[in-house]
Structure 1
């Protein structure tokens, strides 16, 4: 029996499309599919067969695999497509931070942020792209996996200007921690953006940056506490007893108040386990060790405050509560210990600071 020509064509289309869709970037633009020899009819057929799914107007992805991506992975993939969809567009702000591997905001990531070199579409937005206009010299643009993206120093200052302080500080601290930029480069970029909208927020943020902070939660805690009126604490301080025995390294220390802060993300107790590898007994041992450590810190005179991610919500109401309670319990005159901020520094005897917790005892205070 001789098959009809249309049936032969349909079968060939199905055979070639199995591998052709996978060979495209994920997600891909309709014009990228056309450039690879796949027609609009092919796209429509693949959608009917549920091989591919629409993820934005004229943007598609192979269904298998796409639905398994995390929100941050999805945003990174969409950033490539967004940049390819608009001539002269460069991924910027929190989208650029994500591509650079920097901490990303808590909660939904929203639209992909793009800065356009020369466009009348200032502040335009659709469901998946946010188009911004701004002076963008070539030296402010780099490429990550062939995606045009703002440099790290530009990304940090842009984030300070437009993101929430807690998220922007986490990006800045992460960039310094990874040695992707330095304070001098950040100050130079801030000077370049003089008189840009929101640049004064960058001044506030730059005064708080510290490469010692180790996570989004730690950076966000400092920014939130600062907004609540607390001073900037020292980060990652080693506390020893008077015999020199280490008690532990604490996340934060408000030296004048005698208050230690511990930002308790899940990883502190649960580690980096997958669900199937998680060991409840090991987690319990870790929790008991943390309890004993806290008792030793209080025994040498400190008041310890603990909080988690949820305490930063509702404008930091939970964080304010635990810090105020610890400040009421604290008596800096009772503290008897040795301390250092860097493990290579000499141990120093504790001395009573004179600046209160609600102003002035910045990250380098003793």
Structure 2
């Protein structure tokens, strides 16, 4: 029996559908033989991939690759919700990504006898569809609003912030999409989330922290504020600032302490320099009268108990009425003297 050249499997999209293999002139017998020889692996019903390159993909790459196959497997469907966000390069949820999400235009069928696709049916005008990686998917605005309606709130805010930050969407587009989806399931969650979107936030953790704090009753902080001393010397750019409370919030992801150290083999001395610089920065901020609250991803668990403890402790230490400094939102703006209490109600902390 002749063995099919392994290169013919590699030439197919990865992963590939059985019908795609058949259209390329490959037989079912050839596919069965490749599976027996472990050259090809079965991923889902009628979905296959060449073993070695497939097993080398990371979870994000796997999901994007599966999204192509999922969209090709169901006529009149497009990749949507969090799956579309991942394909657009937006932040993926913390933890398992789950099934590939699709929105089907005119299918009367939304359940399938397998566990790798999640199919929803909804109105899908042509101007709500775009393309990435050769795959049909919802536009960034549709993806953001869909994610707020269907995904965990903190993940959806991270997607929305990143889409705005990366220039994939404008605030007006989000408002128009929210109006289009009036009375759709979950639209009130989308309306709540759109009121929090800020493209100045720089990471999943920063966005998720704001989402969790908001749900716990905290006001929305300002993001990426530059703090200077009274002589104009730069002290630090902070992740979050509640001006009414004099509290600075620092979302401590691993990247913050890597600093400019791109090399994974950084020496202990280089790492210690980064940590000491961060310590000196915090001391400089607190010497001005601010209180710095720090938290990590684990502090968002249990409904944000760790985050709330950090903010409450900082609130007790802060001296907002005694702060003497200059500040600005962007480097090209003039420095402003600190004034307390601030006029903006959004700068307040929760009443306590």
TM-score when normalising by structure 2: 0.95
Q: Does residue 294 of the first structure (1) align with residue 282 of the second (2)?
A: yes
The count of corresponding residues between Structure 1 and Structure 2 is: 349
CA distance in 1, matches of 2:264, 2:337: 46
Q: Where do residues 82-231 of structure 1 align in structure 2 (5 Å cutoff)?
A: 82-122=70-110, 126-231=114-219
Please give the secondary structure, in 1, of the residue aligned with 2:219.
Answer: coil
SS in structure 1 at match of 2:238? strand
Query: Match of 1:3?
Result: none
Q: Distance in 2 between matches of 1:67 and 1:274?
A: 26
By how many angstroms is 1:329 displaced? 1.3
CA distance in structure 2 between the partners assigned to 1:275 and 1:58 by the alignment: 42
In structure 2, the residue corresponding to 1:38 is in which secondary structure? coil
**1:75 aligned to 2:63?**
yes
| Distance in 1 separating the partners of 2:263 and 2:109 | 46
Calculate the aligned-residue CA RMSD, in Å: 1.8
Larger radius of gyration: 1
Q: What residue number does 2:46 align with? A: 58
SS at match of 1:249: strand
Moved more, 73-82 or 314-323: 314-323
Cα 1:115/1:63, change in 2 over 3 Å? same
* Secondary structure of the corresponding residue to residue 347 of structure 2: coil
What is the SS of the residue equivalent to 1:107?
coil
Cα pair distance change 1:337/1:179, threshold 3 Å: same
**Residue 49, structure 1, aligned to residue 42, structure 2:** no
| Structure 1 segment 213-362 matched on structure 2, within 5 A | 213-271=201-259, 276-353=264-341, 360-361=346-347
TM-score, normalised with respect to structure 1: 0.92
Give the whole-Å Cα distance in 1 for the aligned partners of 2:171 and 2:64: 27
Separation in structure 1 between the aligned mates of residue 245 and residue 200 of structure 2, nearest angstrom? 21
Contact 1:234/1:362 (<8 A) preserved: no
Q: Unaligned stretches of 5+ in structure 2?
A: none
Distance of 2:208 and 2:326 partners within structure 1: 28
CA distance in 1, matches of 2:282, 2:57: 39
Deviations 1:30-65 (A, max 9, x none): 110111111111111001111010111110011111
C-alpha contact (below 8 Å) 1:125/1:131 kept by paired residues: no
| Contact 1:124 1:132 survives alignment (8 Å) | no
The farther-off stretch of 264-273 and 152-161 is: 264-273
